[in-house]
Amino acid sequence: MGATRHGVVYEGACGPANATTGGVIGPDTIFWLLSMTKAITATACMQLLERGKLKLDQPAGEILPQLKSPQILDGFDASGRPKLRPARNAITVRHLLTHTSGYTYSIWSDRISQYEKVTGMPDIGYSLNGAFSAPLEFEPGERWQYGISMDWVGKLVEAVTDQSLEVYFSEHIFEPLGMGNTGFLISSQQKKRVATMHRRQADGSLAPEPFETNQRPEFFMGGGGLFSTPRDYMTFLTMLLNEGTYRGERILDPDTVKTMFRNHIGDLQVHEMKTAQPSWSSSFDQFPGAVHKWGLSFDINTEPGPHGRSAGSASWAGLLNTYFWIDPVRRVAGSLFTQMLPFYDARVVDLYAQFEQAFYARLPRA
């Protein structure tokens, strides 16, 4: 799906949505967003920053006591037990929004994968509060590494507003934007429209496989718990493309959106996410060999992208091979939705590149 600031200009779909019913896939098919949830959680956080309820460089432990004394994983002893030490630096709201907090994901971390096995700590994807006992892998602010930070941001939003993310998102983002098919808890009618998840097999074929985010969660997962439709999500992207406004509804101030699209990690670098669990994800780098930075919940390419997007564009993805970008220079946005594992599937990535290239080729020259 592609859009300009005036709205959707391209919708395309192919194949069945449901392996059982054979329903046709389309712009109102429901997909699990997983990490494409993060941009929405960041939007909620930025609303609170606008209202003075939070500050970017505020220690997050001032709001969530669990973050006051984080522990850093220093390796494992001879018996395989984890070695922990207290962190020297405080975790700030900015650290959480930029994945510089020290929190990581086991999918892209051998050490946290080992920590989960040794301690029995659940993976964050199960929406169990035990996942928040994870240690840091490095001192806050000292490097970039993708992880569960945005789930902590979700906890911040709930603590400051005294509302669940389900309620806050609905009242302050989804209802104003008319995103009626987006949320954490899926209805019986919506479930009928969910795209079946598939897994790539060794021979290149796709096999259907059950998948559903926890519908009785211990917490609403701000880093990856939402479902949505391509049409709803493009509404959200169009709001950002229009500097915070959609059809007369102001979600964010223009300066806030511009701030989200700026580099917030200084001289630190976004780097390849090397897989620790190949059944879930391939290694991932959107711009290999190029410098890219992190904004407030977006990957920012500092050079023009290889398929058309301008330098300064914002983008990210979801684990089931969903992708989006927002180009504030050409004032366009694009997205691609599939539901399959492992993440960063070569054929899907190639299709995404072809779509982006064709989309820009048909735009009027800047």
Cβ proximity of 230 and 140 under 8 Å: no
Cβ proximity of 206 and 199 under 8 Å: yes
**Beta-carbon neighbour count of residue 352 at 10 Å?**
22
| CA 263/CA 201 separation, integer angstroms | 38
Determine which helix (DSSP H) or strand (DSSP E) holds 324, and give its type and residue range: strand 322-327
CATH number at 2-361: 3.40.710.10
35, 101, 106, 313: the catalytic one is 35
38, 105, 281, 293: the catalytic one is 38
103, 105, 146, 352: the catalytic one is 146
Domain coordinates of the chain in residue numbers?
Answer: 2-361
Dihedral of the alpha carbons of 56, 244, 145, 210, in degrees to the nearest 10 = 130
35 belongs to the catalytic site = yes
Q: How does pLDDT run across 145-165, given as a tens digit for each residue?
A: 999 999 999 999 999 999 999
In a structure prediction context, what are the per-residue pLDDT tens digits for the chain, which is 366 residues long? 999 999 999 999 988 888 677 788 999 999 999 999 999 999 999 999 999 999 999 999 999 999 999 999 999 999 999 999 999 999 999 999 999 999 999 999 999 999 999 999 999 999 999 999 999 999 999 999 999 999 999 999 999 999 999 999 999 999 999 999 999 999 999 999 999 999 999 999 999 999 999 999 999 999 999 999 999 999 999 999 999 999 999 999 999 999 999 999 999 999 999 999 999 999 999 999 999 999 999 999 999 999 999 999 999 999 999 999 999 999 999 999 999 999 999 999 999 999 999 999 999 875
Question: Strand 340-341 vs strand 198-200: parallel, antiparallel, or unpaired?
Answer: parallel
With CA atoms as reference, report the closest residue to 1 among 37, 31, 39, 23.
31
38 belongs to the catalytic site = yes
Whole-Å CA distances, 254 to 74, 233, 250, 258:
42, 19, 9, 6
106 belongs to the catalytic site = no
